[in-house]
């Protein structure tokens, strides 16, 4: 099998990545390229049908993975990007804030591993986005990379020397849950005044009196003053969170993705300005703030890269 895909490279190591979203499950097959960026050789998508619950959603992931492996395999492993928190030791879900059904305790890693007959790596979707942009997309070649994805929530991730930084507990990089207003609105995480509570898509839409964030971006681009003010508010809070992050980590690049990419300079400009105004101890004129490059496939690509990382021996330290 495998005739349908491009010829396997010299390394011959491929992985399938599956990104579990609220609306669609996206899948890719990625091949390791020695000395270069991992290469996407195939991609596909199926509806999540989230209302059918964890068992059915897991089976849809398995089905998509099987189809991709049948056409573009063999692969050495699989990665799954998940929209929430999981137990990294046993691969069960602990919290999916935006998917219906009894997810806590669901053994998603084992379900997919059994269904595909492959080792499976689990990664949070925002960290998968970060890993993809850092290895394949707009963050390639950086020393210290900060990624932010703005949408339903505000996700993030950190890469240092080409490796994802997850901290001692596997959860580092939640840039959106930094407090930016001491007594601000309550956040989904339970804290008050997180950047996410002030900058997520529904808050942006509410500020501008529009139904969706996309409408706000379009309105702002067309010069609507209320939409422009709403974008400026969100960009200002994101700028505070990013200024704190820049002071702490000293990144050489910040990649911004998610729905906000549609707003382009309307939002990147104020974020750059906030970082430059608030950060005095890091040379901010040398920090590039750029839009993400990989679009909606980033999470699936990052999940596949996580699987490649898990299957391959660790890279030598140093650069
Ligand atoms: Zn929070």
What CATH number does the domain containing 156 carry? 3.30.420.40
Question: Does residue 2 carry a pLDDT above 50?
Answer: no
Cα of 154 from ligand 1 centre, angstroms: 9
Q: What is the mean pLDDT of residues 101-116?
A: 97
Q: Are residues 147 and 264 in the same domain?
A: yes
Number of domain units in the chain: 2
Please tell me the distance between residue 192's alpha carbon and the centre of ligand 1 in angstroms: 7
Going by pLDDT thresholds of 50, 70 and 90, the confidence category of residue 151 is confident
How many whole angstroms from 193 Cα to the centroid of ligand 1? 7
Dist. CA 174 → ligand 1 center (Å): 9
Alpha-carbon distance of 35 to 22, in angstroms, equals 35
For residues 50-64, average pLDDT:
97
Domain identity same for 176 and 202: yes
> Mapping DSSP to helix (H, G, I), strand (E, B) and coil, where does residue 269 land?
helix
Distance, CA 30 to ligand 1 centroid (Å)? 33
- Residue 241 Cα to ligand 1 middle (Å): 12
* Residue 9 domain flag: no
Of 181, 123, 145, 153, which is closest to residue 301 (Cα–Cα)?
123
70 and 167 in a common domain: no
pLDDT at 30 (0 to 100): 97
Q: What is the mean pLDDT of residues 68-82?
A: 96
Distance 95 CA to ligand 1 centre (A): 14
Indicate whether this model's pTM tops 0.75: yes
Strand partners, 124: 82
How confident is the model over 28-49, as a mean pLDDT?
94
What's the 65 CA to ligand 1 centre distance in angstroms? 33
Instruction: Give a yes or no: residue 316 inside a domain.
Output: no
Model confidence at 263, in pLDDT bands (50, 70, 90)? confident
| pLDDT given for residue 44 in this prediction | 97
d(CA 47, CA 49): 6
Q: Is the pLDDT of residue 261 over 90?
A: no
**Ligand 1 center–CA 70 separation, angstroms:** 41
Q: How far apart are CA 103 and CA 108, in angstroms?
A: 9
**Same-domain pairing of 108 and 172:** no
Question: Ligand 1 centre and the CA of 311: distance in Å?
Answer: 33
Q: Do 267 and 185 share a structural domain?
A: yes
How many A from CA of 248 to the centre of ligand 1?
19
Ligand 1 center from residue 145 Cα (angstroms): 22
Taking the centre of ligand 1 as the mean of its atom positions, its distance from the CA of residue 88, in whole angstroms, is 21
CA of 194 to the centre of ligand 1 (A): 5
Give the residue-averaged pLDDT of 32-49.
Answer: 93
Residue numbers of the domain that contains 244: 141-293
Q: Give the Cα separation of 4 and 87 in Å (integer).
A: 36
* Whether residue 6 has pLDDT greater than 80: no
pLDDT beyond 90 at 65: yes
Residues 112 and 233 in one domain: no
How many residues does the structure list for the chain? 319
Residues 289, 301: one domain? no
Query: Cα separations (Å) of 305 from 30, 121, 273?
Result: 7, 10, 33
Q: Assess if residue 306 is contained within a domain.
A: yes
Cα(264) to centroid(ligand 1), Å: 25
Tell me the mean pLDDT in the region 29-48: 93
Give the Å distance between the CA of 179 and the centre of ligand 1. Answer: 8
Judge if 150 and 288 occupy the same domain. yes
pLDDT at res. 313: 53
Average pLDDT value for the chain: 91
Higher pLDDT, 313 or 234: 234
Q: Does residue 80 carry a pLDDT above 90?
A: yes
Categorize the per-residue pLDDT at 251 as very low, low, confident or very high, splitting at 50, 70 and 90.
Answer: very high
Looking at the structure, do residues 288 and 155 belong to the same domain, yes or no?
A: yes
- Tell me what pLDDT residue 9 has: 47
pLDDT at 319: 38
Q: How far is the CA of 120 from the centre of ligand 1 (A)?
A: 29
Q: Are residues 110 and 77 in the same domain?
A: yes
pLDDT band at 97 (very low <50, low <70, confident <90, very high): confident
Q: What is the mean pLDDT of residues 130-135?
A: 97
Task: Calculate how far, in angstroms, residue 138's C-alpha sits from the geometric centre of ligand 1.
Answer: 26
Distance (Å) from CA 272 to ligand 1 centroid: 23
Domain membership flag for residue 153: yes
Q: What percent of the chain has pLDDT over 70?
A: 93
59: Cβ contacts below 8 Å, ≥ 6 apart: 111, 115
Does residue 10 carry a pLDDT above 60?
A: no
Tell how far the Cα of 185 is from the centroid of ligand 1, in angstroms: 10
CA of residue 189 to ligand 1 center, whole Å: 4
pLDDT in tens, 173-199: 999 999 999 999 999 889 999 999 999
Q: How far is the CA of 177 from the centre of ligand 1 (A)?
A: 4
């Amino acid at each position: 099998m495998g005739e349908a895909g491009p010829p396997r490279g010299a390394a011959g190591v491929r992985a399938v990545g599956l990104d579990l979203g609220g609306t669609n499950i996206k899948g890719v097959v990625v091949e390791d390229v020695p000395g270069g960026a991992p290469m996407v050789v195939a991609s596909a998508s199926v509806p999540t049908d989230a209302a059918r619950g964890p068992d059915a959603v897991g089976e849809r992931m398995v089905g998509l993975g099987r189809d991709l492996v049948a056409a573009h395999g063999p692969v050495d492993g699989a990665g799954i990007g998940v929209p929430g928190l999981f137990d990294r030791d046993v691969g069960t879900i602990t919290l999916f804030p935006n998917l219906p059904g009894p997810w806590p305790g669901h053994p998603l890693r084992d379900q997919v591993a059994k269904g595909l007959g492959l080792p499976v790596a689990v990664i949070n979707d925002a960290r998968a986005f970060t890993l993809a942009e850092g290895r394949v997309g707009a963050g390639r070649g950086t020393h210290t990379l900060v990624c932010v994805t703005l949408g339903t929530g505000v996700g993030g991730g950190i890469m240092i020397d080409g490796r994802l930084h997850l901290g001692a507990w596997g959860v580092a990089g939640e840039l959106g849950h930094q407090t930016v207003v001491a007594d601000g609105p309550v956040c989904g995480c339970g804290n008050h005044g997180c950047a996410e509570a002030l900058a997520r898509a529904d808050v942006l839409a509410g500020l501008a009196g529009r139904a969706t964030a996309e409408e706000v971006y379009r309105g702002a681009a067309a010069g609507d003053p209320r939409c422009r003010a709403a974008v400026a508010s969100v960009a200002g809070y994101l700028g505070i969170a990013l200024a704190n992050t820049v002071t702490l980590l000293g990144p050489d690049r910040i990649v911004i993705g998610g729905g906000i990419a549609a707003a382009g300079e309307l939002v990147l400009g104020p974020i750059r300005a906030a970082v430059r105004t608030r950060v005095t101890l890091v040379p901010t004129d040398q920090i590039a703030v750029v839009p993400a490059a990989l679009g909606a496939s980033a999470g699936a690509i990052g999940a596949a890269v996580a699987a490649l990382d898990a299957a391959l021996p660790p890279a030598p330290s140093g650069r």
